[in-house]
Chain A
């Protein structure tokens, strides 16, 4: 219980630090919201003193004439209260826009993760049957190559093939018959790291006494790997979960853009092109919070599942 309390306190601390960083990033942008609004008043040319007066009024209204720490606190309270501002483009509250698109992104991320787990397990089991054997070498080359293939290239080629072969349609709302292709591309992007860690863990498990004992009892190498070694080897992969999540977030931005999958990533990309700052800020806040929470969650889960994890992680590092 003590550990849990400390973990929660630690997480809140990290979130606060992250929020300061995000706030600093947002505030360090050249120009301020008033510039943007004055710019948007379009065509109407203001005299210099009028502009100065309006600017001062607006700055005071937005609280931008206050000291920075106070601005930060106000900003933090507003964000925490769910007031994330209004999108310049759609005129809708940004938080609503984000929550509308989040399910599509979660669906893509989850299915991409599923694809990656399946592919990684398959590749790692193949490779670890005979470490450094020919199959292992080929798998290693394949994963190295997969690291190098840019997602946009893979996505474009996959899209080309799928539209030709299956009449895959890129337009329209999020649906299952649109999901499989971006999920596949996203999964392939996440697979290499996962499969390499799993292979290393499987090879390490094979050297343990229980594995040798299983072989001595007459279990086939495949059975030994699947029934005995796979489960303990998944531990290190779980710890990698945080890293995998980070690459899912990164990968989903490009995948969503290639397949025009209507998630938060595509929304953010379009927002950057349109200089829709509230949406950019919201995306950064959302992604940061999710990454921090998932990382801490994975750490905590790994520790609860296997208290030795701490000691083991130290050894690995």
Chain B
């Protein structure tokens, strides 16, 4: 019982801390994130620069704090678009007749099974590296899991006795969507959103590390990672700052998703009993 709730609480708290610290970056950051030479070059962590400095003498901690804003904002916007498209497609397929449903389901399953990274790689490879290209490539495929989940939820919701009864009484599709489908949609979609948001951040960070995402000198987690691939072996502390920021954020999102799933599962079970 406490298991899911504990995970959920922990995840929400950590996530809130991450978001708040990045929002408060201008006040929290000890240095200007783009100013060069605020300290010695490539300084190891400790003292004034508690995450060290990069090869231009910029303060890593300040850059991590400020960089989170771009990363979180852009990822959040992409997630919103992906959820909207996925839910719309899923509802459309789910409400459509059996023929279209079958075709749509196969199509969506095919996209879900395909590694998103390859599509993003192709997109970036042909358009040149930028955060916009990575997120644009992600947009092409990331809606599919949402469409798949929404479709199956719509189908099962419409099969519920209450939905069948409402339909028999002549309820319109819009009414069915609002009263029968929607309430069953929110919870699972929230779970998937948390998990997928974490995956998206991790994927974007990984591709940025390879130099495909945001380009230096932007203070953004991915761009910071892109700058240090060559020197990762000699100065690992430069990977540590943005890397751990990504890790903490993704971990928090995963915990939120998992905890939420547990709590919701238990709620459904309780109702079923």
Contact = CB atoms under 8 A, between A and B. Distances in A.
A170 interface: yes
Interface in A1-55: 14, 17, 22, 25-26, 28-30
A156 B236 contact: yes
B211 A273 contact: yes
B216 interface: no
B210 A257 contact: yes
Contact of A29 (B3, B126, B152, B203): B126
A156 B232 contact: yes
Contacts of B250: 147-148, 150
B113 A246 contact: yes
A242 B232 contact: no
Interface stretch (A90-98, A211-219, A264-272): A264-272
Interface string A288-317: 100100010000000000000000000001
Interface string A50-70: 000000000000000000000
A250 B115 contact: yes
Interface residues of A, number: 51
B239 interface: yes
A interface: dominant SS: helix
Contact of B118 (A249, A257, A275): A249
Given A25-B123, A147-B250, A153 B239 contact: yes
A152 B113 contact: no
B176 interface: no
Contacts of A288: 114, 118
Nearest to B7: A144
B262 to A, nearest CB: 10
A247 interface: yes
A79 interface: no
Contacts of A99: none
B117 interface: yes
Nearest to B232: A156
Contacts of B236: 156-157, 160
Interface centre among B114, B122, B225, B254 (most CB of A within 10 A): B122
Contacts of A170: 233
B interface: dominant SS: helix
A156 B243 contact: yes
Interface centre among A137, A144, A273, A283 (most CB of B within 10 A): A144
Interface string A215-256: 000000000000000000000000000110011011001100
A150 B202 contact: yes
A253 B254 contact: no
Contacts of A14: 110
Given A137-B3, A254-B206, A254-B209, A160 B233 contact: yes
A291 B115 contact: yes
A258 B228 CA distance: 11
B3 A132 contact: yes
A145 interface: yes
B114 A246 contact: yes
B124 A152 contact: no
A147 B211 CA distance: 22
B126 A249 contact: no
Nearest to A30: B127
A149 interface: yes
13 contacts: A144-B7, A144-B254, A148-B248, A152-B205, A153-B244, A153-B246, A159-B233, A250-B115, A250-B116, A250-B118, A257-B210, A280-B121, A287-B115
Given A151-B206, A272-B121, 20 more contacts: A22-B122, A25-B119, A25-B123, A30-B126, A144-B7, A147-B198, A148-B247, A152-B225, A153-B244, A170-B233, A250-B116, A257-B209, A257-B229, A258-B232, A272-B124, A273-B211, A280-B126, A284-B118, A284-B121, A317-B152
Interface of A: 14, 17, 22, 25-26, 28-30, 132, 137, 144-145, 147-153, 156-157, 159-160, 163, 170, 242-243, 246-247, 249-250, 253-254, 257-258, 268-269, 271-273, 275, 277, 280-281, 283-284, 287-288, 291, 295, 317
Q: Considering the complex of A and B, which 7 residue pairs feature the smallest CB-CB distances, nearest first?
A: A280-B125, A29-B126, A148-B251, A153-B243, A148-B250, A246-B115, A250-B117
